[in-house]
Structure 1
Amino acid sequence: MSRSKSIKLKWVLIGLLAAAPIAGQGTAAYAAKSVAYQRDLLASEQQLGSVYVTANSFFQLKNAVILPSENGRMLFFTMTVANGEAKELSFLDYWVRVSSSSGAEFEVQLLPQDKAKKDIPAGQSMDFSFYAPVNDSVTLGELSFQIKHWNYMSAALEEQVGSIQFPAELDSVLANSSDSPTLTFGSFPVEAQITKRYLQQKDSYLTPRLQMRLTNHGSASLKLPGLQYSLRTSSGTLYPLDAVVPADKQLLTPEVAVELQLKGSLLPKAAAEGDWEVVISQPVAIADDQKLNYPIATLTVPAAVQESIPLGSPVDYTNLTGTYRLQVEKLQRMPWEDQDILSSDLSLTHQEESALPFPDLKAYFLLDDGVKVEAKAIRTDRAAGLPPGTPMHVQLAAKIPYTYPFSSVRLVVQEKVSETTAEDMAQFELPLPNVSMPMVALGDKQPITGAGRKATYAPRAVNTYVDDTSKWVEVQLETINQEKRSAALPKVAAFLKTPDEQLFPMKIREVKSKLNPSGIAVQSLITKLPRDFDTSKLSLVVGEAVTDQHWSGADEKTDAYLNAVEMTLPQEQTTPKPILKNVDMFPYTISIGHVQTTIDNKGLRINFDYKLSKDNFYETNNEGTKLIFVFEDAGEAGPTEEVLYLETKPTDDDKKLDLGDHKYLISKADPDLMYRTKFMKQYKLSIYSELQGKRKLLASKMVDWFTILD
């Protein structure tokens, strides 16, 4: 048998720990915990004996294991040849044969990279790795390793120098797979460990994800070699695993642990039973068109992390750009018109050296393990990517009928890898949510978080406007910009809620101008109720408005909301002022003075001075704001009204009041008015605020005729 010139062994087998079959059974009958012969892990008294080929040179069995392969069951073993002589020992003079106790012989082949080894220098040793196909019934303990010496003087051309056999007490020399064996690549010792095991259920199958940690204990960096990974279940079945290795983790720097992710395809549910192991193999070309995966280590797999991660627990996911950490912070079931919104807050972070791109997320809620409800992914932070160590948030929201009951809910988060394919990132087992929201007490502010849109809001005041049949309820919502730059006002959606859970949607009179840092805006939230409806115990349900998969813009129609809360409303000021000074209709204040009336056969004239001021610190939308001045006598004349807009008026025919101190004349031509006015003792002058045709009385004062009111 020829040998080529000796070269240095590139891959040295250190941690060969894998499956050993049970005697007399087929390939499916394997021990739940894999075992192998591993000399380096045994005490000296447990190690198998050596075969001396000279007085000071010997063969030792370093490791041996039987594993299933694409070509059937395969024996893998390594012999260490130690030369204790003062001259070279030629390996070409020796060979190894393997047979079973039943007499079956198995053809042994040397790995191609070891065929170049020829001589063992004096005082040194070399490892030689072999493989041999074996039958379905043979076990490791039945095998005998015979060391042959070529002897061309004998008829058989060879003679046996000695053999290595396993003892009757086989367990005493077999080792279990290791939690963290050390692999040697050239002169680089690398510790390997499976740190986490995740199982995700999809229909009647399981998808495994394993986290593997590699630590280079060498003195220089090592490029990660091209290894193959397989998952071995307790039945002995091997399933391929794909290693997801980001580009920046291809290099193993000394003493810096690198986390890789191993992903499997669909496994039957039964595969989850019993212990698991990961078999690490090195692809070896044994022919021009044939490769052999030579095992170099087997790692124990820890117990599975829950198939679905509970609320608040993190889970790692790796793709080609890096490793992301996902965590679901909360689950809400919020009312929305005739539906409910299921919403989860998902945070993503990572510990890579530089920013990672935001993964293209998809998600769905699985109700009662059968009803799939697609969710929208709404990025709540304004960021181009994910900076290291800084959590970024995504809201995952779906709508269900508000009467729909369910007993379990699971959130499945996926990464969209193509137009037709999505890969599961994590599954979260969530607690059953009630249709309830956090309660915000009166005086407290609700924060809006998220990069680029930080703000707080709270109800400022409540006003009720009535007519003969219905009323408007207005809630003034005060919002403060907490960003360090000017920012658009976050859009909200709101409902008025009654104690018996009725919801009334509210329209919003929006403020569209941007707010400076610490700037404050006040928006009007309005809904219509029956005139006699009790408004004393109403609360405000309000959340951040969403359109499709993003926060709603100023001119976009809202189709959902997130982070909804229930806020206690302040008591409405319902008693009108008894004087006409400092009458408040935010953001305006008006004072009326020097009121003088004149009535004759031409009609009524009311002269007065007014001072109109405005709090310009607040950004408001005052379009259409108007006051109604009403003059009423005790007689049969009926009220006289003057409609006055503030600052601006819709048309030239309308009337308005300007900011500052001014005089104003109300003139009503009516020759018969003085005859319908009773006694001319007193009249009542009232100021109303009007909203879309309905009014609220702000102030009212009884005034003597023909006197001047200051």
Structure 2
Amino acid sequence: MDHKKVITTLLSSVLLISSSGGTILAAANPASAGKNASSSANNPAANKKKAAANKVVHTLANVPPVKVTARSTVTLTDVNILSQNDGNTVTYTLTYKNNDSKPMMMLDYWSKVKTSGGTSFSPKLIAKDQEKKSVSPGSTVDLTYVMKVGREVKLSDLNFLIVKWDFSKPNYESTIGKFVVPASYSITTPVGKTKTVRLSDSAVKVKVSGIKVYPGENKKQYVKIGVNLNNISYKLLDNPNVKWILRAPGGTNYPLTPDKDSTGISIQAQANKTLSLMASLPTALKLEKSELLLVEEQGEEKTALPIAALQLPEASQTNVNTEANQPNLISIDGQTVSTLLESARVRAEDEEYELTMQWVLKNQGKKEVKIPKYALEIRTEDGTSYPIETKALDDLKLKPGSTKTIKLTSTLQGDGDTSKIKFVVMTPASSDESKEGTGTGASTGAAGFQFSYPVGIYAIPESVTSGDGLTTETVIKNSKGTFGVSVGSLQRLPWMDSDIIAAKVTIRNASTKTVQLPELEAMFTIDSARIDGDTKLIRTQGGKLVGPGMVTEAYLLTKIPSELNMGRLELTLLEKVSETETNDWITLNTSGLIQPLAYVAEGKSFTQGTSEKETELGVRRTFVYPGSSSDIVYTEFEMTNKSLRQNGLGKLVGYYKTADGMYYKAEAKQANRVPGPGQKSIVTFWAKVPKSVKTLSDMRLIVGEGVADNKFVTGEGDATAYVNATSFEIQPKSLPVLSSLNDIDLYPFKFSGANIRAYLTGGTSVQFEMIYSLTQEEAVDSGESGHKYILSVTDGSGKVFDKELALATDLKTGINQTLTWSIDDMVFDKIRGGSYRVALYDVFEGQRIRLAEQGYSYDTTKLPKEEPIFPEEGSNNNNNNNNSNSNR
């Protein structure tokens, strides 16, 4: 083929690679064909007649092999030619097959090339084949040679000679055969056919999957060629040093640049990879009968070796303009991906507006596709571009039939008229490091040339608006049904050093059929700031089915800085379609006005929930455990199940709020078991309050239902937020000290233990016996209370002895129970009478309050008889004197 133009500097300055036998070849003289040469090769007239009779062929399978021994052969398996500035580069591959029983040494054979006119060329082995020294019995070896020939030389002009050592000849060599390429042979693989090549010594099938042309700017067009590589060898093909070239019909060569997903070629054995090759070409260039050239660089000198030429199919012109609400089909790796700009929402503010859209991608092909990381932008009528940032395209893969919905947001200048803008999808920018071929060779561009082209230009669909969710119900229709949505309450609640915004959203089934709610998520927008962090949605019912006219509720919550002042607040329900993607379901606008919490006065109760799940809440009592640097405020909180089934609230969260607006996080202790109908459950709240807080009157206890991981917390586990809060009035009091150990409130228990005897034994030991009753007056569930109870005995000298008592272990429930213990101390030695006092203390978190105290006289009935008893002055000399409180 006569090429009038050549490739740029990428393929210029090709240097020949020296082979291990180069010196001998240079010294040797070519010989005539030996006796074993093919008879057809010695009959030019017959060959010419045969070539004229046959059509163009694209295979060398009919070129007969040459025998190198009686059983072993060598075959011409591939030949290629590449036009360059300083001539043509020819490569050809010889395949040696050893059918003998001993190794075939490659030093015994080599190759020469001559023209029919007698011109000789000295081919050289390519770098990667120079180390191939022998062929094992029963195996084959491929050797590829490269040489430079004149620009007018054709492949059919060349005779490829096989030469061996023959020391009987004057020049010590003998030509044992030759190959002649038929005149009808074309190195170009036809459209739709596969070419098997060697890349890095791996067999690879190469096939063109298609060519597309995209519109560009400044009289440019972007050409995209798809190429499939199938590694049919048994080893990894790892980044061969290959280059791709588009050869126009006139012979001009244009380098092709792989896109970002095709820059590396790493293909496992028996695996495929599809490459996308790009070029920026003049619009006037006609692409009919163009070719794709594959070139591999070899050796340190990067000698350019022609590997294959493949005929390109007819290019298809791509129309990327898409009307509103219409799909745009994009071909990715030979698979069709349908794209649709599904919806848009505009929120205008001052002289700019925020545009939120949903872009839906669906793989309509039969194989998984990896979506390129497209550059997305909004383009105005005057050409102004607003880039859209998204991470949704990072490593996005779609299985056949699967869909991905991507939410896109952009802030633009203007009045929000979407008829004046377009959504544009551009391919990832590729780098074409060479300038366009000129036919005379071009230098490499130092800075490189970046180009990207549009695969879709979409008209914006009509914008969706919504009403004020706090005052009106917004009705929406979608594939799931018809729903009325409104905001029932909006609360701002304290949480650590931040605040919780909790909105209760009511969803009504406005249709006449039972519908299934989608999986929903929440998003908040405060003024113009979208909160993308800690945002949760908690549904009050477990199921998703909603009957006609039925209402279900969900809580949307997020956390904000406590000092933040809100203006406008938007609540968005998002439909979750996969683990990583959501669709806008509805957006409700509010004024951001926080509603006050429901208030319950002291001594009153509050009922919440529906009739099927009704719970009565109320504060029983609040008192104070005084401490040295801080006091403990302690509240007993009651929940009563008013429904007909086992029911109750989950884990509660509480905050104490003082009259001057200070918040203290309350610790809570609560039973894990859900109460049955009519049963009561106790939750104890407490918090340490500094002594600097002078007054604890007129406090509030804010109580809400704890949530974590998008659900209400039940049983074990800690809440990370709370919702549905109510404010209860509390009046913390100090408990009076009772003068008797009877009828002491250890809620939910009642304790009586005034019947105590202390027996003197005449030594250092005193034996105590207490007859007590511990009863539970109500069917109440409570958690681990955290209380410890101490019986404190103070003898006549003022020395104190404490005994710790635990409910249900030391003190068992029942009437007339007996508890015995003893105290051994030298203070009792030789005491023969007297009095002592017993006090009962409630200890909580290390701070105690005295509940009751009572005085007693020692019992002397167990003193030894041989020791006379001398009653103390003032005694009534009654050995059974026990303050007349004994019921024994």
TM-score, normalised via structure 2 length: 0.44
Name the counterpart of 1:528: 688
How many angstroms apart in 1 are the aligned matches of 2:417 and 2:629?
69
Quick check: which has more Rg, 1 or 2?
2
Matched, 1:390 2:550: yes
| C-alpha deviation, 1:623, in angstroms | 6.0
Q: Which residue of 2 aligns with 1:329?
A: 488
Q: Name the aligned partner's letter for residue 333 of structure 1.
A: R
Equivalent position of 1:201 in the other structure: 347
- Residues 268-667 of structure 1: pairs in structure 2 closer than 5 A: 269=415, 271=417, 307-373=466-532, 375-418=535-578, 421-434=581-594, 437-449=597-609, 453-466=613-626, 468-487=628-647, 489-530=649-690, 534-572=695-733, 574-599=735-760, 600-622=762-784, 625-636=787-798, 638-648=799-809, 655-667=810-822
Counterparts of 1:206 and 1:473 in 2: how far apart (Å)?
51
- Offset of 1:466 from its aligned partner? 4.4
In the alignment, structure 1 residue 693 sits paired with structure 2 residue 852:
no
Asked whether the 8 Å contact 2:698–2:731 carries over to 1, the reply is no
Distance 1:208-1:467 versus aligned 2 partners, 3 A rule: closer
Q: Could you tell me whether the CA contact under 8 Å between 1:308 and 1:426 is conserved in 2?
A: no
Give 2:882's aligned residue: 708
Q: Which residue pairs with 2:836 in the alignment?
A: 683
Deviation string for 1:150-189 (max 9, x for gaps)? xxxxxxxxxxxxxxxxxxxxxxxxxxxxxxxxxxxxxxxx
Aligned counterpart, 1:234: none
Note the alpha carbon deviations across 1:497-545, whole angstroms, 9 max, x for none: 2222222222222201221112111122232334675433432111010
Matches within 5 A, 1:35-184: none
- Residues 537-568 of structure 1 deviation map (CA, whole Å, 9 limit, x = unaligned): 43211101010211112112210000112211
Q: Distance in 1 between matches of 2:611 and 2:538?
A: 14
Q: Which 5+ residue runs of structure 2 have no aligned equivalent?
A: 1-343, 359-408, 420-461, 860-880
Mapped partners of 1:356, 1:421: distance in 2: 22
CA distance in structure 2 between the partners assigned to 1:394 and 1:489 by the alignment: 16
**Unaligned regions of 5+ residues in structure 1, if any?**
1-197, 210-264, 274-300, 649-654
Letter in 2 for 1:345: K
CA distances 1:315-367 after superposition (whole Å, capped 9, x unpaired): 11111121111111221111111110111111111232321111222332222
Give the 3-state SS of the residue equivalent to 2:806 in structure 1.
Answer: strand
Please give the secondary structure, in 1, of the residue aligned with 2:716: coil
With over 3 angstroms needed to count, the CA separation of the structure-2 counterparts of 1:495 and 1:629, relative to structure 1, is: same
- Separation (CA, whole Å) in 2 of partners of 1:517 and 1:378: 25
1:237-257 deviation digits (Å, cap 9, x = unpaired): xxxxxxxxxxxxxxxxxxxxx
Pair 1:509–1:455, CA change in 2 (3 A): same
Cα pair 1:602 1:669 within 8 Å, conserved? yes
Relative to structure 1, is the Cα distance of residues 377 and 620 closer, same or farther in structure 2, using a 3 angstrom cutoff?
same
Aligned length: 423
Partner of 2:362: none
Structure 1, residues 8-39: CA drift from partner, whole Å, max 9, x if none? Answer: xxxxxxxxxxxxxxxxxxxxxxxxxxxxxxxx
Take 1:672 and 1:205, find their aligned partners in 2: how far apart are those partners? 85
What's the secondary structure of 1:672's corresponding residue?
Answer: helix
The Cα of 1:306 is off from its aligned counterpart by 7.1
Question: Residue 665 and residue 310 in structure 1: after superposition, are their counterparts in 2 closer, same or farther (change >3 A)?
Answer: closer
Deviates more, 1:600-609 or 1:548-557: 600-609
Q: Which has the higher contact order (CA 8 A, sep 6+)?
A: 1
2:468 and 2:594 map into 1 onto residues whose CA distance is 20
Structure 1 runs of 4+ off > 6 angstroms? Answer: 206-209, 265-268
Letter in 2 for 1:465: Y
Query: 1:539 is matched by which residue type in structure 2?
Result: R
In 2, are the aligned partners of 1:332 and 1:433 still within 8 Å (CA)? no
Q: For residue 48 of structure 1, what is the aligned residue in structure 2?
A: none
Instruction: Give SS of 2:516's match.
Output: coil
The alpha carbon displacement at 1:204 in A equals: 3.0
Residue type at the aligned position of 2:496:
E
The amino acid that maps onto 1:670 is D
Closer, same or farther: CA 516–424 of 1 in aligned 2, 3 Å: same
Q: AA paired with 1:428? A: L
Letter matched to residue 568 of structure 1: E
Are the equivalent residues in 1 in contact too, given 2:503–2:555 (CA < 8 A)? yes
Aligned residue runs from structure 1 range 246-261, under 5 A: none
Task: Name the aligned partner's letter for residue 491 of structure 1.
Answer: K
C-alpha distance after superposition, 1:25-61 (max 9, x if no partner): xxxxxxxxxxxxxxxxxxxxxxxxxxxxxxxxxxxxx
